[in-house]
Chain A
């Protein structure tokens, strides 16, 4: 057995880091969902899910880059390993099979998938090979090709629906002054760290921005477009004030 070289150690370490990030992201999302008094606002949830997806895909990249080594790698405890005190960890490291609960979950998922996806065998939990999946619709089941088509459609389709539901009035806001740059700005905003979004939410009085617009319209009957413009201006001022406050804080704290 060849000893583990530098590169391989580094690969292991990278995988560990990625796993850690992913676990943290998921943990934070779960905590937000479970512990917070109300469901977090959509932009924050969407950001978190995006982050989780990103970390998951980097993890997958790292895994597939080093797949050759990782497939060969096995854990052998050295004689110096504190086997008595760390028995639990040792067992965990040496265990080749998955955790029973995870195995069950995978089996369940396979059973579900076997109902409509070709090439998945739900009974013994194994994939029966790519022979039949290439040509697709055997017995009305979906082949690999159909699946990838669905995903290609579902991604943009879903985001379009979400966009129209959640950002309708916001788009209306931006129609006036920033026709072309509006969408890009949105992306930049959501891609920028979540704290910015978090800081903005309470400023709007814990209400969705369009709620504010409706209430104002109901109170004054003014033209909604004018109200939207006013709101946007107010929000900008608030943001500026908040920004100044922060920079003053930083300046005051040498």
Chain B
């Protein structure tokens, strides 16, 4: 699945107005969206075990290439959970049982997991395709539904570690084939997030802190494509998005995002430096 994207920013003061405009444009009432996004990062030492052979590993060049490949392109991945407002009521209980909020924990009071009931999906977004001339952002994206089981344990077993989580709050509308999402990012209150795992219970909704202190909203227009390699479909999507951009002119300024700001690649800086060293040393010895 590919998606074509345009982004715009709406100041808090104009949020209501823009939402009304969008309602008119889309000719449908906006659907409320509440999502919990948990970001995971591949652990740095994921494939280190295979490398501990030191310079011996270099003998097999194919293996070396494979390892480089494996370590080069690693991406942040997210778990996304659909929420309802009721999921936020657990603030009081949470204050009492703060500290032990591990999703993966099993025990007699494990019934708490069911308190936040929304279904999870694993969402992967690739780095947008390069191309300065394209007036929209094109990127590959994949979502996988989690049907059963504990998603956090699954991610941990895959070699990912928990980074942070945030709540996405907003409204979704449909205009032609474009999914419009007017949303803002809310963070969990500082000091209450555990370091290594997502929270078990969510705090009260009012306790969430907007990422943007001025409270602005982000407008995201998204055209989804089954196959982003077909030029005619990309063109159609681009045209539709450009039509929306034209329509929204003067209301919200929609523009493609800076490619690197949607970069989901993980940068193992230290790791790479070490790798280079081990490659260079034997070469020097050979001379």
Contact = CB atoms under 8 A, between A and B. Distances in A.
A221 B257 contact: no
Nearest to B8: A211
A172 B212 CA distance: 10
A85 interface: no
A152 B41 CA distance: 53
Interface string B5-17: 0010101110000
B145 interface: no
A220 B76 contact: yes
Contacts, number: 89
Contact of B165 (A168, A204, A221): A221
A224 B166 CA distance: 12
Contact count band on A: 20 to 34
Given A211-B218, A215-B262, A221 B164 contact: yes
Interface in A141-187: 164-166, 168-169, 172
B249 A168 contact: no
A222 B164 contact: yes
Describe B's contact surface by its main secondary structure: mixed
Contacts of B9: 207-208, 210-211
Interface in B21-65: 37-39, 41
A214 B213 contact: no
Interface string A201-237: 0001111101111111111111110000000000000
Nearest to B11: A165
B83 interface: no
B264 interface: yes
Contacts of B174: none
Interface of B: 7, 9, 11-13, 37-39, 41, 76, 78, 125, 163-166, 185, 211-214, 216, 218, 249-250, 253, 255-259, 261-264
